[in-house]
Structure 1
Amino acid sequence: MDGVPWLLSARSEQALRGQARRLLESDTSDVPAVARALSTTRSAHRHRAAIGGAGAQHRRTALAALASGGAADGLHVARATGQRLALLFTGQGSQLPAMGRGLYETFPVYAQAFDEVSAQFRLGTPLREAVFEREDLLDRTDYTQAALFALQVAQFRLLSSWGVTPDLLIGHSVGELSAACVSGLMPLADAAALVAARGRVLGRLPAGGAMVAVRATEEEALAVLEGRADRVGIAAVNGPRSVVLSGDEEEVLSAARELAERGHRTRRLRVDVAFHSPRVEPALAEFRSAAAEVRFGRPAVPVVSTVRTAHAMDTPDYWADQLRGCVRFLDAVREARGSGATAFLELGPDTVLAPAAESCLPGLPVRPVSLLRRDHDDVRTAAEALGRLHTHGVEVDWKAVHEGRPATPVRLPKYAFQGRRYWPEQPAETQAAPAPAPVSGAAALEGVL
């Protein structure tokens, strides 16, 4: 399968370089076949490397760098240790036309899950058509939220089929509904109905709202918002210096100008609703009624809340608060880290939350990665994200990744054993000691007695 990285491993750094040198001496022209053989017929030792990129020459350049102990584009080297994986589910604003098409066309597990989830929604245009063919519909809130939910549930199902098991889940805005569904907190049909209700009630809100991303601390933003709490608020705290303002357009733009004058960078978001602001309050009663129909269960994987609320996640009031309240992503990521999370993988159409998580937790042992990226091949991006996590010790069933595709036999080199000499060295010659003087028979007897 195209896109799967070459995975090498060894018991030591020296042996890993030796493995690279041996592979360089082999025929690696069939890139997918070599990738499959390396990932499914070799044991995974502690010292690991993943080599990605398109084409054999690109990978051989990275392989040569590994053999010499250097660095190269597409080469990632790490020492595998036990990892606790947290999945991040992106919210609205990350949607892209035809998002996930590569996964849909390549992996039956993904396609079946996406179709199953899409069938839960009763929209004027079928959801699959809206995602793959109707760019004009994808930015409408009722379609956007359903499409992101379908994409993320299908991505989760695909990861599960590959043996990737998360320890924690975090969802941003509507992404928290995706997390709640795959965790087992909500059945699929109930979660989809709540997503549909969310898109419906938000889509009916009147125009006149705005959202602006600001590079500032929460405290710096609150200082500007004083006296405006009924018209504008902080919709999200995405990092130590990353907040989003939301509310009445005039007030939001006025606060943004004031922050810009104080030296903070601002960017208006392309949205049709002022999410997580006072403007959504007219929608809360209807949405709370929809949440009351959900049959809550016990999650198999913990979901880290992004909301400050006194209500438990398995109550309608929680989800009403989640619709209105600030998305406290920074707090959730830090809580996940405090609970032992060491690796973060973003599910969604682009890399949005992965860099945000990195800014929240500088010095993470494993750099957060995204399953998909804008303007990148879907299959290669997903496979390389898994390859990077694999080098750090996240478990992946590579045989399942390749399942259903013909295997081409490949001769791989034998393990690069690091020979050591264990035979004792011959001692250096020493001068012979003088022979003892002869003794008489009586003296010899005295020595025995």
Structure 2
Amino acid sequence: MEGMSPDGRIGRTVFLFPASASPHPGTGWELLAAFPVFTEALDAICARLDPYLELPLKSVLCLADRAQRPALVERVSFSGPAVFALQAAQYRLLQSWGLQPDVLFGHAAGRMGAAFAAGVFSLAEACHAVGTLARLLSSLPDTEPGSPHLDHALKAYGRTLATLHPQPPRLPLVSDVTARPVGAETRDPEFWIPRSPVRVADAVELLHQQGVRTWLELGPGDLLTRVLPRCPPDGPVTAFAMARDWPLLQAGPL
């Protein structure tokens, strides 16, 4: 089903789930204060993630010392869980406003949030995967990509993924690795292990070819909406970031 953006452009809508953990000013605080639906969703998600973390995740996301919050959220032990928790809770809030995507795209650490929104993983399974990966990465010494320590951690993560029960996507889901729609490969644990390079520009081109003209970024910042102007093809698009534009999104349909 095609939707209409607030400025009147007609086209399909993609929800973007990026890897960025750098919080936009006010992320968490504003939505917690304004929307019980968001608060309830975030509380439920944090309760599932907290057993894997050294501090309660909600206390990190909503740290009163806003100067200290970004440095803590960006630590490897919190960055993945923080991104997932905000994206999943924001997705629940958008649903309560009647906003639905035509297609989903997850980038790097945001891949699990997109998979959860697409119905590939249950909340319990997604939180188990995200929490396990955060715990494994936080136990590593300072290391480079491709190091034996990292390889060992990712193999352990693969064993966790193999215990999950992924389902076919209920919503179209585009991969940042293949830049193609995701299908049967969701059942392969190896598919969900972090890898590079990712093909953001190619995925953007595919989505544009599929009629996407409205781009809505979930999470703590606006990473992908800032990248969009540098990705082919050129053409009119309408881009929003939930952390920045939620009052506009609440006001009307896309």
Q: TM-score, normalised by structure 2?
A: 0.85
Q: Secondary structure at the match of 1:368?
A: strand
Name the structure 2 match of 1:140. 75
- Asked whether 1:383 is paired with 2:247, we answer yes
Return the index of the structure with the highest Cα Rg: 1
Query: What is the CA-CA distance between 1:302 and the residue it aligns to?
Result: 1.3
The one of 190, 193, 196 aligned to 2:125:
190
Q: 1:207 to 1:115 in 2, by over 3 A?
A: same
Structure 1 counterpart of 2:192, one-letter code: W
Name the structure 2 match of 1:157. 92
Q: Secondary structure at the match of 1:88?
A: strand
Q: 1:120 to 1:97 in 2, by over 3 A?
A: farther
Q: Secondary structure at the match of 2:15?
A: strand
Name the structure 1 match of 2:200. 329
Query: What is the CA-CA distance between 1:308 and the residue it aligns to?
Result: 3.7
Name the structure 1 match of 2:185. 312
Q: 1:366 to 1:207 in 2, by over 3 A?
A: same
Matches within 5 A, 1:398-417: none
Q: Report if the CA contact (8 A) 1:117-1:150 is conserved.
A: yes
Q: Report if the CA contact (8 A) 1:97-1:131 is conserved.
A: no
- Asked whether 1:295 is paired with 2:225, we answer no
Structure 2 counterpart of 1:382, one-letter code: W
Q: Give the unaligned 5+ runs of structure 1.
A: 1-45, 51-77, 210-276, 374-380, 397-449
Name the structure 1 match of 2:57. 127
Q: Give the unaligned 5+ runs of structure 2.
A: none
The one-character-per-residue Cα deviations of 1:1-46 (angstroms, maximum 9, x if unpaired) are xxxxxxxxxxxxxxxxxxxxxxxxxxxxxxxxxxxxxxxxxxxxx9
- Asked whether 1:82 is paired with 2:17, we answer no
Q: Report if the CA contact (8 A) 1:358-1:367 is conserved.
A: no
Q: 1:130 to 1:81 in 2, by over 3 A?
A: closer
Matches within 5 A, 1:265-280: 277-279=145-147, 280=150
Structure 1 residue ranges (4+ consecutive) displaced by more than 4 angstroms after TM superposition? none
Structure 2 counterpart of 1:384, one-letter code: L
Name the structure 2 match of 1:256. none
Name the structure 1 match of 2:44. 116
Query: What is the CA-CA distance between 1:362 and the residue it aligns to?
Result: 4.9
Structure having the higher helix fraction is: 2
- What percentage of residue pairs aligned between the two structures are identical? 32
Q: Secondary structure at the match of 1:312?
A: helix
Query: What is the CA-CA distance between 1:82 and the residue it aligns to?
Result: 3.3
Structure 2 counterpart of 1:312, one-letter code: E
Q: Report if the CA contact (8 A) 2:13-2:102 is conserved.
A: yes
Distance across 2 between alignment mates of 1:161 and 1:201: 34
- Asked whether 1:284 is paired with 2:154, we answer yes
Q: Secondary structure at the match of 1:87?
A: strand
Query: What is the CA-CA distance between 1:332 and the residue it aligns to?
Result: 1.6
- Asked whether 1:351 is paired with 2:215, we answer no
Q: 1:141 to 1:295 in 2, by over 3 A?
A: same
Query: What is the CA-CA distance between 1:83 and the residue it aligns to?
Result: 2.1
Query: What is the CA-CA distance between 1:97 and the residue it aligns to?
Result: 7.6
Task: State the number of aligned residues.
Answer: 239
Name the structure 1 match of 2:116. 181
Distance across 1 between alignment mates of 2:73 and 2:134: 12
Distance across 2 between alignment mates of 1:283 and 1:339: 37
Q: Report if the CA contact (8 A) 1:98-1:132 is conserved.
A: no
Q: Report if the CA contact (8 A) 1:95-1:144 is conserved.
A: no
Q: Secondary structure at the match of 1:372?
A: helix
